[in-house]
Amino acid sequence: MIQFFRKIRQDLLSEGKTKKYLKYAVGEIVLVVIGILIALQINNWNENRKNEITEADYYCRILDDLELNQKLIDETSKLTTNKIKLCKELILDLNKIPNERGKILDKFVLALRQDVFVPSTIAFEDITSSGQLKLLTDLKLKNRLIQHSTFLNNILNLLQENRNEIIERMGDYDLVCDFGYQDIEYLNKELDKEHLDLLPKNDWTNEPNNPIFLKFQDNLVFFIAMLIRQKQHLSNLKKEMQEPIELLKKKKCQ
């Protein structure tokens, strides 16, 4: 093709048709420019199309994360409800004298176990860490997702504060001398009689005026309060998630 155009130019020059040559040269330049513009337009169209596909994929992935988090909230809230019930039972068990310290401590270990809510934020972290947040062209939705991320982090901090307060409370105990943790079933089975004979005996669960009894009972009430607060935080998070979920569903990710 290039050879063809070059031959035409050479023929026009050799025939002395300068004006025609100039017109032809200008026309050729115009054609080249038009070709470049068309190529750029096609390239831009392809790039925009890729961005649209990537944007739609991010919306769907973020929606998947949020819907998974809804389920995780429900599961964690259910476990928390069961722990509240267990702590309430423990208060009654403790005050049924005589009682078995081992059984009470077995229950207490279950009530104290921390079920940490770990949300899935992979998609949103991916788009922010890669600098691709600009791909989200729906400004209302983008701002709402950023707002949700901030809200989520605040809730996670509050939940961590709850756990820290519980851990701090437990740090006040001497688990062997005060609590008698050796009476917990799995420890009691593992330790030989000669080991158990060496450990202090303290039947505080059957002494209502014992400071450890009173402190243990007080802490059970405190744990219930912390667990109720945890449920409230999770409930607030679930409510806050509803709007971004509905906005994402409108993107036809289902």
pLDDT of residue 112: 84
Higher pLDDT, 145 or 187: 145
Cα dist from 81 to 64, 85, 115, 116, 231, whole Å: 26, 6, 12, 14, 8
Confidence of residue 123 (pLDDT cuts 50, 70, 90): very high
Confidence of residue 12 (pLDDT cuts 50, 70, 90): very low
Query: Distance (Å, rounded) from C-alpha 180 to C-alpha 213?
Result: 12
Confidence of residue 201 (pLDDT cuts 50, 70, 90): confident
Least confidently predicted of 31-40, 79-88, 152-161, 234-243: 31-40
Cut 0.85: pTM above it: no
Length of the chain: 254
Domain ranges of the chain: 2-249
Query: Distance (Å, rounded) from C-alpha 187 to C-alpha 76?
Result: 28
Query: Distance (Å, rounded) from C-alpha 104 to C-alpha 97?
Result: 12
pLDDT tens, 139-170?
999 999 999 999 999 999 999 999 999 888 87
Query: Distance (Å, rounded) from C-alpha 236 to C-alpha 131?
Result: 29
Least confidently predicted of 30-44, 72-86, 220-234: 30-44
